[in-house]
Structure 1
Amino acid sequence: MTTFTRRTTLGLIASAAAGPALAQADYPNRPVTVMVPQAPGGANDIIGRIIAEKLSEVMGQRFVIENKAGAGGNLGSQAAARSTPDGYTLLVTISASQAINPALYARTGFDPVKDFAPISMLGTVPNVLVVNPNFEAKSVADLIRLAKEKPGFYQYASAGNGTLNHLVGEMLKSRAGIDLKHIPYRGIAPALSDVIAGHVPITFSNLPAVISQIQAGTVRALGVSTLKRNANIPDVPAIAETVPGFDAELWIALYAVAGTPQPIIDKLVEATHKALAAPEMKAKFAQQGADIVPSTPAELAAKLEADLKVWAEIVRSSGAKIE
């Protein structure tokens, strides 16, 4: 029969207490899964791979992308939210999933605030208001004037009901006090094709999807949806220059699972900011039409809180809903 002395008992208690602290100090000591709730190839996936590769270098451990697409990003976000909060599952997500889906979907299966711990914003990608080259509006101000002269006459195409470019159009209608007719398509590619062909005069698209058409002159860009101009198309004004405060950027951010120990969060924040500051990262983000925008966890939390309110009102006024 084994006899435990008081010293042995105290030693076991001390070891048990030290275990979590040692694990946190040693983080990461195995590969980290970075969940991306969209299919491979999109801006979120590519930015996720760029940051995962750099975090692997900075932290000396593999950060591995896992794509889990479906339900507008809800499935991957659900999977991440249900993971163990130990820092070994992270989420790279976009504002469309995190800030719009809670208002758009009857059930998302996750809470964007309670289920995740913010680490840092990674970058922003503007949406661009583009028109057919023969369309008479040469500026955002022209478009607003025309729309006010003929309410409901002019059409804009989108990638489908409830998509970000649909809701950006609804935001412009609301903020500029105009009426445009929404024409939903099955994706941005057919919507752009019909704008290029002149069947519908207007659409909104994220910059990576439309920049080659802008450069080729098959569409004309009237404005970007960010508060400031984008360095990739610096001659295109911000819509906010005509409609003050207009801000409908797509942002990409890194989250951990809620309940992840604070020392691990702190390590991830420091490593992410170091990764984003690497000289080559600006060019890599720019290739995706993105600007690097690091943030503190508190700044990301505040941005999400503000956007949840903005998009809830836009979704409500548009009548968009997905069951």
Structure 2
Amino acid sequence: MPRITRRALFGTAAGLVLATPALAAFPDRPLRIISGYAPGGLNDIVSRAMAQALTPILGQNVVVENRAGAAGAVGATAAARATPDGHTLWMGIVDTQAIIPTAYRNVQYDPDKDFAPISLVAHFPFGIVVGPSQPGIKDFDQLIAAAKAAPGKFSFASWGIASTSHLAMERVLRAKGVEMLHVPFTSQAPGMQAIMASQVDCMALPAGGAETMIRDGRTRCLAVIAPEQLELIPGVPTVREKGIDLASGLWKAIYAPAKTPPEILAKINAAVRQAMQAPSFIEVVRQQGAKPQPSTPQELAELGRTERAAWGEVVKATGAYVT
């Protein structure tokens, strides 16, 4: 049995005493959640709902800072370089944590080394919408038939090259032998606006955004890339019902910069899990076709590794590399 000296014992006790005030003081000022996308899109909506729910729990204002660019890589880099004291959080998504590191040649952050995982937030299924530029297309089969008859004439939007929006749509089109022009935007909201303005024909985007777009009747959701039909958009078939074995969506999760003290990470994890039980947060997520899915940091870390390997294969197959 190892010998415990008085110096070691009192050294450990002193460390605990010193650590306690630091933890008790956290947070001692407002916090920020960095979102890698422009205001108005799903990441912004969920980030603001989380900030609102966290504010009374942590006893400090929590604000959202939008840092759009490079399909989320600009915001991820800023979050990775933030002071690791718990006052900066990062709303990461599958794009930033799993796809960009495999698709971009000059990534300025490492998803494993530069971030401390806190908790998964939710998985958001995708819907495929067609806009007013194609008023005659009423269902998924008509879209595929029209696109096959005119290769390259149709276009689809995404929130960036090698984003989930881009790659999910590419997988659908490739499965049907269809070619379309890809038009990337900096985030979800500009892509949706381009659809409504008839600048682009269609887009794969989270179901909540699809449901919002179809309310005026000019935009239609033709299919959902989900395991089953969604209550949020009733009656819309899955792509599996159309012969494509695919279920794809967008997961979001909370991270902190690496080297954030473990005791602070634990406190944030508890606060985030509590925030996801807030009725206001649950309702926001429900409106996007999903449910809150809290996790442990270990579960989130494993999800990132698994998804990075899976999406890396898609990037390789499609050649969607970014220099």
Structure-2-length-normalised TM-score: 0.80
1:182 paired with 2:184, answer: no
> In structure 2, what is the Cα distance between the partners aligned to 1:228 and 1:23?
48
Which amino acid in the other structure matches residue 261 of structure 1? P
- Retained in 1: the 8 A contact 2:157–2:200? no
- Retained in 1: the 8 A contact 2:94–2:164? no
Which amino acid in the other structure matches residue 249 of structure 1? G
Paired position in structure 1 for 2:302 = 302
Deviation at 1:265, TM superposition (A): 2.0
Distance 1:243 1:322, change over 3 A: same
1:192 paired with 2:195, answer: yes
Task: Note the 1:53-68 alignment, pairs <5 A.
Answer: 53-68=52-67
- Retained in 2: the 8 A contact 1:151–1:179? no
- Retained in 2: the 8 A contact 1:124–1:249? yes
Instruction: Find the residue that maps to 1:280 and give its secondary structure.
Output: helix
Distance 1:98 1:13, change over 3 A: closer
> In structure 2, what is the Cα distance between the partners aligned to 1:185 and 1:73?
13
Instruction: Find the residue that maps to 2:64 and give its secondary structure.
Output: strand
> In structure 1, what is the Cα distance between the partners aligned to 2:167 and 2:112?
22
Instruction: Find the residue that maps to 1:46 and give its secondary structure.
Output: helix
Deviation at 1:110, TM superposition (A): 0.5
> In structure 2, what is the Cα distance between the partners aligned to 1:27 and 1:151?
59
Distance 1:15 1:257, change over 3 A: same
Task: Note the 1:5-154 alignment, pairs <5 A.
Answer: 15=14, 18-131=17-130, 132=134, 134-135=136-137, 138-139=139-140, 146=145
Deviation at 1:249, TM superposition (A): 0.9
Instruction: Find the residue that maps to 2:279 and give its secondary structure.
Output: coil
Which amino acid in the other structure matches residue 298 of structure 1? Q
Which amino acid in the other structure matches residue 58 of structure 2? M
Distance 1:321 1:150, change over 3 A: same
Deviation at 1:239, TM superposition (A): 2.7
Paired position in structure 2 for 1:5 = none
> In structure 2, what is the Cα distance between the partners aligned to 1:264 and 1:200?
45
The sequence identity of aligned pairs, in percent, is: 35
Which amino acid in the other structure matches residue 117 of structure 1? A
Paired position in structure 2 for 1:171 = 171
Cα RMSD after superposing both structures: 3.3
| Number of corresponding residues | 308
- Retained in 2: the 8 A contact 1:157–1:202? yes
- Retained in 2: the 8 A contact 1:185–1:191? no
Q: Which runs of 5+ in 1 are unaligned?
A: 1-9
Instruction: Find the residue that maps to 1:101 and give its secondary structure.
Output: helix
Structure-1-length-normalised TM-score: 0.80
* Deviation sequence 1:113-140 (CA, Å, 0-9, x none): 221111112233332113445237x356
Which amino acid in the other structure matches residue 56 of structure 1? T
> In structure 2, what is the Cα distance between the partners aligned to 1:202 and 1:83?
37
Instruction: Find the residue that maps to 1:29 and give its secondary structure.
Output: coil
- Retained in 1: the 8 A contact 2:239–2:246? yes
- Retained in 2: the 8 A contact 1:122–1:254? yes
Distance 1:25 1:193, change over 3 A: closer
Paired position in structure 1 for 2:205 = 205
Which amino acid in the other structure matches residue 192 of structure 1? I
> In structure 1, what is the Cα distance between the partners aligned to 2:75 and 2:147?
42
Instruction: Find the residue that maps to 1:292 and give its secondary structure.
Output: coil
Q: Which runs of 5+ in 2 are unaligned?
A: 1-8
- Retained in 2: the 8 A contact 1:157–1:182? yes
Distance 1:28 1:203, change over 3 A: closer
- Retained in 2: the 8 A contact 1:147–1:153? no
- Retained in 1: the 8 A contact 2:79–2:90? yes
Deviation at 1:150, TM superposition (A): 6.6
- Retained in 1: the 8 A contact 2:221–2:236? yes
Instruction: Find the residue that maps to 1:234 and give its secondary structure.
Output: coil
Deviation at 1:255, TM superposition (A): 0.6
Which amino acid in the other structure matches residue 123 of structure 2? T
- Structure 1 window deviating more from structure 2 (59-68 vs 184-193): it is 184-193
Instruction: Find the residue that maps to 1:307 and give its secondary structure.
Output: helix
Instruction: Find the residue that maps to 2:123 and give its secondary structure.
Output: strand
- Structure 1 window deviating more from structure 2 (212-221 vs 248-257): it is 212-221
- Retained in 1: the 8 A contact 2:222–2:236? yes
* Deviation sequence 1:248-291 (CA, Å, 0-9, x none): 21222111122223222222222111111122322223345554
- Retained in 1: the 8 A contact 2:147–2:178? yes
> In structure 2, what is the Cα distance between the partners aligned to 1:185 and 1:35?
22
Structure number with greater Rg is 1
- Retained in 1: the 8 A contact 2:126–2:205? yes
Paired position in structure 2 for 1:225 = 225
